[in-house]
Amino acid sequence: MNIIRIRGVEFSACHGLNNFEKVEKQPFIFDADVTADFYGAAKNDELLQTVNYSSFCKMLERVTLGNTFNLIEKLAYECAFTAFEEFPQISALSLTVWKPQAPMKRKFESVGATVEMRREKVYLSLGSSMGDKKKYLDTALEKLSATRGVKVEKVSEYVSTEPYGGAAENMFLNCAACVSTVLTPHALLDEIHRIEAECGRVRDKRWGDRTLDIDIIFFGNENINDERLTVPHRDFMNRDFVKIPLKSIAPHLNF
């Protein structure tokens, strides 16, 4: 693992809930652990083959000075998202924003917020059995692409399939998509539920007809089993409408 460590980068800016914090500058200090493969830079002694820490710090400065946020959590996320957008070499990032002069009526050294992100490949199954099915799938992919921290990399052909589960009456239109994301699995799930709702999804009958259904099939090498999410998807092996489109865009997957 190759990590570029940046410590104690300080900017004076206006971030905070209080009105005076929005006009009176105070220090914000950044620490970052930037994971990137810079073997090529070491081998060739070439700056372009690594993450330029000077450019990285300029990005932090631009985001910090160019905005006014209520929360350091928001500032940390904005900087982290921008880092992944502007530095494609980054595979993972841990970024901390410290606020040493936070207005607290007690003695303290500093308060801070840390964001940890990692690029992951995620495989999704999308389906629709109501209305203009193709339009719903097209819209879902557009909304995924427009979601910050998500990039749609590959989409299978759309296929018409029989309903599954015994409750739906209409034929489905299905596809699979490969996306790259820096969101956590549950954050991605929240965005998927938002997109489904924006496309008119109503969760009133299990297995019933629906305008849009998006399932997370694989999320990197993650294994998750909680009350909200199971990854790999628990039932995908029984669903040809998932496996066939998925194999067409990811033949390397072993299932």
Neighbours of 215 (CB within 10 A): 19
Query: How far is the C-alpha of 2 from the C-alpha of 33, rounded, in Å?
Result: 10
Catalytic residue among 119, 215, 226, 240: 215
Query: How far is the C-alpha of 60 from the C-alpha of 11, rounded, in Å?
Result: 9
CA distances (Å), origin 154, targets 65, 172, 178, 240: 36, 20, 5, 19
Catalytic residue among 201, 228, 235, 239: 201
Residue 60 neighbours by CB under 8 Å, 6+ apart = 9, 11, 30, 32, 79
Catalytic residue among 209, 213, 228, 240: 213
Q: Are strands 172-181 and 159-161 parallel, antiparallel or unpaired?
A: antiparallel
Contact by Cβ (8 Å): 129, 199 = no
Residue 234 a catalytic site member? no
227 SS3 class: coil
The C-alpha torsion from 63 through 65 and 69 to 73, rounded to 10°, is: 50
DSSP state letter for 215? E
Residue 226 a catalytic site member? no
Residue 228 a catalytic site member? no
Residue 204 a catalytic site member? no
In angstroms and rounded to an integer, the radius of gyration of the C-alpha atoms of the chain is 22
Catalytic residue among 210, 235, 239, 240: 210
Just list the catalytic residues.
201, 210, 213, 215
